[in-house]
Amino acid sequence: MFRKILVANRGEIAVRVIRACQELGIRTVAVYSEADRDAAHTHLADEAICIGPPPAKDSYLNVANIIAAAIVTGSEAIHPGYGFLSEDSRFAEICQHYRIKFIGPKPETIRAMGDKVQARQLAVKAGVPVIPGRDHIQSEREATAAAAELGYPVLIKAAAGGGGRGIRIVHSETELIRNLSLARSESEAAFGNGALYLEKYLEEPRHIEIQILADEHGNILALGERECSVQNVRHQKLIEEAPAPGLTPQARERIARSAMRLCAAVGYTSAGTCEFLVSRDGHFYFIEMNTRIQVEHPVTEMVTGIDLIKEQIRLAAGERLSIRQVEMRGHSLECRLTAEDPDRNFAPDSGTITRLRLPAGPGVRVDTHIYEGYWVPPFYDPLLAKIITHGRDRNEAIARMRRALREFVIEGVKTTLPLHQRLLEHTRFVKGDLSTAFLPRFLAEEYQG
């Protein structure tokens, strides 16, 4: 096992990784930007090194400084968390070069699956269904012909997109033409890669994803699914749960098998997630793979009793998967509390948290880095806390979430807390009648009403 790990991230996930390391008896090194001198992860780790000014490109994306920090502290491995460098195959390669273990899959796997077009093609090869689409869109003529064949609406997607960015819906040829070059330049600027593809737009699908653990000895395990259909208009997840309500055991089994087949085909190692959309008529389609730990991993931890971060670290150390069978217990929900204003199209907010009371009690877990007096910097992801509940069944998990949201007090920045409180009361949510159209429709109704 590693003796020392550098955590190349910030916020709640850096805290989460440090906690896992401490339980494993591994020393930790935090890296922090000048804006994060007083951040929780900076103080929780055994050592902390400043890696640059606040903007992410100068600090949490500053590869030279992070590698130097790992070398001077004698860190044997780097945990990248999610976002930042977690899906940067070049960074994983540089780690390899310096004999530092990158806690994630092999660089070539990150590269292959990080290109969503290539991932689609690998899925097809592995016999996993994908959404009808056109893989490489070079010219306007090619795009209009493909879209006419697919039938509008279609999505223009960036091959390198992620985090809900790089997706545009178009309803007609005029809109397609108008958006194509915009999408290309935007994607070029945001991801350094202008490659685009088209996908048929599915009406009101559900987002279902499968958690995977795979060791370096060829063993692959699926740890059930997560339902992540409650998304805002920018395709960002707000509420996740496990298991997915109303999914039949057969459907669950088929989706999980597909995910495992794809992972086996690409020689996947480490923790990862295969994302699928399930159409209203019950067909499922692979959309992408995230080759990292995900924000919503705790709901899987709650129902399986497995610590995914510790497993991920063990796998990186070359250990064999020791879990043979996964037993699911009860139901878990997660609400992502962000510093965003739902009334202003989820505009991010920044400022000092003047008052804070975190919920607790039976079946409630809060993964967070915030504290009273904490200044929410404007430079990074707006995630403030993940409120996670576990219950014997979905109703108990919901009741506990409602209670936890009532206990939660946060003042000083605009947050999504009031929105979550209203969502948890909505009859469709309570019934588990979910699709990606649920939240946009809910917001439109509220706005009109």
Catalytic residues: 292
Place of tokens 């039938």: 151
Instruction: Report the distance separating Cα 405 and Cα 386, nearest Å.
Output: 11
Write out the DSSP string of 370-417.
--TT-EE-TTS--EEEEEEEEESSHHHHHHHHHHHHHH-EEESS--SH
Q: Is 59 in the site for ligand ADP (CB under 6 A)?
A: no
Tokens 């064949």 — which residue? Answer: 149
**Interface with ligand ADP in residues 70-89 (CB under 6 A):** 82-83
Q: Does 167 bind ligand ADP (CB under 6 A)?
A: yes
Asked if 109 touches ligand ADP (CB under 6 A), the answer is no
Of the two residues 84 and 374, which places its CB atom closer to ligand ADP in the complex?
A: 84
CB-wise, 52 or 161, nearer to Mg ion?
161
CB of 9 or CB of 73, closer to ligand ADP: 9
CB under 6 A: which stretch of 117-125, 291-299, 322-330, 408-416 binds ligand ADP?
291-299
CA 412 to chain centre: 27
Phi, psi of 97 (to 5 degrees): -55, -40
In the complex with ligand ADP, the residue whose CB is nearer, 26 or 370, is: 370
Q: CB–CB of 296/346 below 8 Å?
A: no
Sheet-wide strand order for 284-290? 284-290, 270-278, 206-214, 220-231, 237-242, 331-338, 383-391, 364-368
Give the C-alpha separation, 17 to 387, whole Å: 17
CA distance 92 to 73: 19
According to CB under 6 A, which residues from 204 to 243 bind ligand ADP? Answer: 205, 207, 231, 235-237
- For ligand ADP, the closer of residues 26 and 150 by Cβ is 150
Does 296 sit near ligand ADP (CB under 6 A)? yes
How many beta carbons lie within 10 A of that of residue 97, not counting itself?
9
Q: How far apart are CA 191 and CA 197, in angstroms?
A: 15
The answer to whether the CB of 269 falls within 8 A of the CB of 284 is no
Q: Is 294 in the site for ligand ADP (CB under 6 A)?
A: yes
Measuring CA to CA, which residue among 42, 41, 88, 39 is closest to residue 67? 88
- The pattern of x and - marking residues 5 through 44 that bind ligand ADP according to CB under 6 A reads ----------------------------------------
Supply φ then ψ for residue 178, to 5 degrees: -65, -35
Residue nearest ligand ADP (C-beta atom): 162
* Torsion sign (Cα): 113, 79, 26, 299: negative
Interface with ligand ADP in residues 371-390 (CB under 6 A): 381
Report if residue 436 touches ligand ADP, rule: CB under 6 A. Answer: yes
Closest separation between CB of residue 202 and ligand ADP, Å?
Answer: 4
Q: How many residues bind Mg ion (CB under 5 A)?
A: 1
Return the number of the residue (215 or 275) whose C-beta is nearest Mg ion. Answer: 275
Q: In this chain, which stretch among 20-28, 162-170, 348-356, 366-374 interacts with ligand ADP, using CB under 6 A?
A: 162-170
Distance of alpha carbon 158 from alpha carbon 183, whole angstroms:
8
Please choose, out of 202-210, 326-334, 347-355, 425-433, the segment that lies near ligand ADP by the rule CB under 6 A.
Answer: 202-210
Judged by beta carbon, residue 73 or residue 436, the one nearer ligand ADP is 436
Span from 7-15, 211-219, 271-279, 371-379 in contact with Mg ion (CB under 5 A): 271-279
Binding to ligand ADP by residue 134, rule CB under 6 A? no
Q: Does 287 bind ligand ADP (CB under 6 A)?
A: yes
Site for Mg ion in 273-302 (CB under 5 A): 275
Residue 240 in 3-state DSSP?
Answer: strand
Residues that bind ligand ADP (CB under 6 A): 82-83, 131, 155, 161-164, 167, 199-202, 205, 207, 231, 235-237, 275, 277, 287-288, 290, 294-296, 381, 436
